[in-house]
Amino acid sequence: MIMREAGRITALALQAMREAVAPGVSTKELDEIAAEVLRKHGATAAFLGYPPGSPYPFPATITASINHELVHGIPSEERILQEGDIISLDCGAIYNGYVGDAAFTMGVGTISPEAQRLLEVTEQALRIGIDKARAGNRTSDISRAVQAYVESQGFSVVREYTGHGVGRSMHEEPQVPNWWPAGRPRVRTWNSVRLVPGITFAIEPMVNAGRPETKVLEDHWTVVTRDGSLCAHFEHTVAITPDGPPIILTAL
């Protein structure tokens, strides 16, 4: 399965970066590590130059987002990891025309109990979402389960960004939000899609320690929490199976 190989290469890049994270390391160094893994395995970077035709194409292989930066942080030689930081690393690989997309957040050295709990809750939210990704369920079942768990733990889920279909393109249908509006709102930007075998998509809880609102910085990419609170992001690309839980395409 070509998508499984794209996912495996993505996971290898993330693993290599995880092993390199330490105080004093720059996010540019992590980007170079991921780029080398992709080259070694005959893959190209899904993020580099994305989206085509944009006046502000993404300039790197990975996104590296620190502390209150939620997603889409641009790697830089000037961004040096410090003891106690948390960093979200997101990577996408294209292999033989198919995409793998995954992310994780981890601590740099010793982190605060608050930050550790945020990471644990967000990763558990991903597990809960994956467990709901079963044939016969709907995308809204994933959304509601993630939201219910995160909010029960005293954190908030981001509204503006969602999981998404993954295949020959990095962003396809269906959208997979991490929350779902109560009742029957008259206006909605996405629909609840029934899951059938063969559908492939990314589930990616994005969780804030404070309020859910975010904003984009002047670099046109980096998304931060509006209140400056810590945030975390975990992601896997999965494939729906005829019976039971999905295949996690971006796991080793």
CATH number of the domain within which 24 lies: 3.90.230.10
Q: What is the pLDDT at residue 190?
A: 73
Please list the residues that pair with 234 across neighbouring strands: none
User: Is the pLDDT assigned to residue 236 strictly greater than 70?
Assistant: yes
Structure tokens, 4: 């499984």
Nearest CA among 176, 33, 39, 47 for reference residue 100: 47
Domain of 128? 2-248
Structure tokens, 39: 């080259």
Q: Give the pLDDT confidence of 157-174 residue by residue, as tens digits.
A: 999 999 999 999 999 999
Domain count, the chain: 1
Distance from C-alpha of 159 to C-alpha of 51, rounded to nearest angstrom: 22
**Residue 77 CB coordination number (10 Å):** 10
User: Is the pLDDT assigned to residue 184 strictly greater than 70?
Assistant: no
Beta pairing, strands 98-107 & 86-95: antiparallel
What is the mean pLDDT of the segment spanning 148-165? 98
Distance from C-alpha of 235 to C-alpha of 125, rounded to nearest angstrom: 10
Structure tokens, 141: 């079942």
Q: Give the pLDDT confidence of 52-103 residue by residue, as tens digits.
A: 999 999 999 999 999 999 999 999 999 999 999 999 999 999 999 999 999 9
